[in-house]
Amino acid sequence: MDIKEQFPFLFSKLPDAAIIVSLTSEEWENRINPVLFELGRRNDIRRSDISVHGRKICLIGNDQLFLDFIHENIAASGEIGADSFFYAFGGLTDLSILRRFKEYPDETSRSELENPWVAECPDEKSFIFVNVPIP
């Protein structure tokens, strides 16, 4: 089951321009985890662990509004299939970080890099939301 099927409420908030990618465990480990580690050292990163229907849900990021939205809707959505990790980062403008998340070449424009981006790793039960606005 992909993220769209498991958490349909998340996709009602995504703009049409949002890019959604599915990553393997190896891609997540080599590409996403190093950036998450770097971002985790920032002062504005929050982490909360919640339990929903007996499953652990970890919410991490600097986009508190989006993390609150996830928390409220997951609690109301019913059974959660597995422990899951949700990362939400808003207002990211550091081109180096955005390029590493998205694996875009150096010549990619700032506006394209700053577009909303979502990645999932089903094997890791992890989801990341970058610059996804909440209306």
Per-residue pLDDT of 23-44, as tens digits, reads: 999 999 999 999 999 998 888 8
pLDDT given at position 79: 57
Helix (H) or strand (E) holding 71: helix 64-77
Q: SS3 helix, strand, coil % of the chain, rounded to 5?
A: 40, 25, 35
Supply 129's token pair.
């939301």
Give pLDDT tens digits for 42-55: 888 998 888 877 77
CB atoms under 10 Å from CB of 88, counted, come to 25
If you search the block for the tokens 């993390």, which residue do you land on? 67
CB atoms under 10 Å from CB of 108, counted, come to 14
Which regions of the chain are under pLDDT 70? 1-4, 6, 11-13, 17, 77-82, 135
- Could you say which DSSP state residue 16 is in? T
Secondary structure of residue 124 in the 3-state scheme: coil
pLDDT given at position 27: 95
pLDDT given at position 26: 96
pLDDT given at position 89: 93
Hey, where are the domains in the chain? Answer: 19-124
